[in-house]
Amino acid sequence: MDVAKVKNVSSGGRYLEFYCVVNNDGIPLLEPGLYLLDLAKAGNAISTTENYARVLKDFFGVLDSSGGDLKYDQVTDAQMTGYLNGYRVQKLKNSPETVNYHATILNEFYKKMANLGISDNLKNISFTWEGLKKVKNKKEVLSTEILQIYMDKKSFEEDVLANITATSAFKRERDEIALKLGYYAGFRTHELVSYDNLNVKELRKLLPKQKDWTPKSMKLKIMGKGNKMRSAQVSVELAEAIYNFIWNRGSHLTGSLMAAKSGKDLVDKKFGTKLFERCVKARILKGVENIDDWLARRYHTLRKCYATNSVTYCYKKGKDPMVFVSQWMGHTDYEMTKIYVFYYAVVMGRVDILNTLSLKDSRYERYNKKKKDED
C-alpha cells in the first residue's frame, strides 16, 4: 500500500493533480480516490491531498493486513476505536494531536462515502477514541505553536532575510520578496506561484514608475485556498521591495514576479517552503539557542506572524480584528481569527480580551498570570 500522484485528470474542462492511495500493484483504490479527487476539485492544495492520502493509506493498509476479510464499510465503531487506540496510540506511540488528526480525516472520508451512497453500511458510522478528552482544543494547540514560532519584525529581518543563500543579486532580491510576501501579506507557499497572483503587468499598474515615488502601503488581491479571493494589506516595506524589483532588476519580466532570471515563471508550489528551509539551515549553522523553535518553523509560519501582527495593527487603529483580519487572511472560520486575537491578548496581557473570548479558564490565561507574577 502506498500513495502516488495522479496527473492530468480532466474535471469540468480543467486538469487536476492530486495524490491517491494505490495497492501493491500500483492500482488506485476506488473509494479513497473518489474522496481525494473531490478534495482536489474543491481547490485544496496538492500537499493537502498528499497528507490525507497518507492517513487513508495507513488505515486501508491495516485493513489489508487482515487478509482482506475486513472491508472499510464493515468496520464497526469498536473496531475503529481499536485502530485509533491500539494501533495508532499503543503501537505507533502517536501523540493525541496526531490521533485526533487521523480520526478527523477518517470521519470526513466516511461522511463523504455515505453521501455518495456507495454503501448502506456507512449511514451510522461514528467513532471515538479514549484519548479524545486529552486533546487540546484548536485554540490551545495553535496558540502553543504560535508562542513557539512567532517572530517579531527584527527577528524576521535579522534571522530570516539576512540568511538568504542565493548568490546572484536577482535571486536574492526575488527571494527576499517571496519571504516578505509571507510575513507582510500572509501568502501561502503555493500562492507565490499560482493563480496569477503576482502578475508583473498588474503589479506595474498598482505601482507605476514615478520620478519621486514615495513608498506606501497598498491592498493586494490574492486568489488563495479553495479559489477564494481575499484582499491583503501590503506593508510599506513589501510595496517598496516590489516596486524596486519590477522597475530595476526585474524590469525584463513579463509574467510572474516569481520567475527565474531568464524570465521563466517558477512553478514549484513548494518554492517558498524550500527557500525558508534554506534560510533556517543557514541560521542554525551560525548557532542558535532555541534550535527546536527554528526547526518547528516553516514558510507558513510567516503567514501566522502576519495574522498576529494584523491583530496588533487593528487594536492600534481601533479596528475590529474579527472583521478585518478575517478578510485579510481569507478566513471563513472565525475561530481561526480568534486564535490570533487570543495570542495577541496573551502576549500583551490584555485580560479584558481574554474574557471576551471565553478563555479565562484556559491554561494560557494561567500562563499569562504566572508571567505577570514572575515580572
Condensed to tens digits (0 to 9), the pLDDT of residues 285-304 reads: 998 877 888 888 899 889 88
Torsion angle in degrees (nearest 10) through CA of 311, 314, 318, 322: -60
Nearest alpha carbon to residue 250 among 181, 199, 210:
199
- 145 is written with which cell numbers? 505553536
Number of residues that this document lists for the chain: 375
Kindly state whether residues 12 and 127 are assigned to the same domain: yes
Which residues make beta-bridge pairs with 11? Answer: 14
269 neighbors 190 (Cβ within 8 angstroms): yes
Kindly state whether residues 99 and 125 are assigned to the same domain: yes
Q: How large is the C-alpha radius of gyration of the chain?
A: 23
Kindly state whether residues 219 and 324 are assigned to the same domain: no
Q: Which residues contact 195 (CB under 8 A, 6 or more apart)?
A: 222, 223, 224, 227
Q: What is the pLDDT of residue 366?
A: 46
| Domain of 331, in residue numbers | 144-148+300-374
Residue 274 resides in a domain: yes
Q: What is the pLDDT of residue 140?
A: 53
Kindly state whether residues 59 and 125 are assigned to the same domain: yes
Kindly state whether residues 116 and 182 are assigned to the same domain: no
Residue 33 resides in a domain: yes
Chain position carrying cell 496558540: 143
Kindly state whether residues 123 and 156 are assigned to the same domain: no
Kindly state whether residues 183 and 230 are assigned to the same domain: yes
Under DSSP, the state recorded for 35 is: H
Kindly state whether residues 58 and 97 are assigned to the same domain: yes
Q: What is the pLDDT of residue 354?
A: 52
Pairing of strands 218-223, 14-22: unpaired
Tell me how far apart the alpha carbons of residues 160 and 60 are, in angstroms, rounded to a whole number: 41
Domain boundary among 254, 285, 316: 285
- 8 is written with which cell numbers? 492530468
- 190 is written with which cell numbers? 503555493
Kindly state whether residues 216 and 170 are assigned to the same domain: yes
SS3 state of residue 4: strand
**Max Cα-Cα span within the chain:** 75
Kindly state whether residues 130 and 159 are assigned to the same domain: no
Residue 248 resides in a domain: yes
Residue 294 resides in a domain: no
Burial level of 75, CB count in 10 A (0-12/13-18/19+)? buried
Residue 292 resides in a domain: no
Domain boundary among 135, 170, 197: 135
Amino acid of residue 342: F
- Say which CATH number the domain at 278 has: 1.10.443.10
Residue 351 resides in a domain: yes
Domain boundary among 255, 285, 315: 285
Q: What is the pLDDT of residue 353?
A: 60
**Ranges under pLDDT 50 in the chain:** 132-136, 358-368, 371-372, 375
CB atoms within 10 A of CB 277: 14
Tell me how far apart the alpha carbons of residues 125 and 114 are, in angstroms, rounded to a whole number: 9
Kindly state whether residues 106 and 195 are assigned to the same domain: no
- Structure pTM? 0.57
Kindly state whether residues 122 and 225 are assigned to the same domain: no
Q: What is the pLDDT of residue 26?
A: 81
- 7 is written with which cell numbers? 496527473
Q: What is the pLDDT of residue 368?
A: 46
Q: What is the pLDDT of residue 224?
A: 75
* Domain count within the chain: 3
Give me the DSSP letters along 96-150.
HHHHHHHHHHHHHHHHHHHHHTS-GGGTT-----GGGGGSPPHHHHHHHHHHHH-
Residue 130 resides in a domain: yes
CB atoms within 10 A of CB 275: 25
- 152 is written with which cell numbers? 517579531
End-to-end CA distance of the chain: 55
Residue 293 resides in a domain: no
266 neighbors 256 (Cβ within 8 angstroms): yes
Tell me how far apart the alpha carbons of residues 90 and 115 are, in angstroms, rounded to a whole number: 32
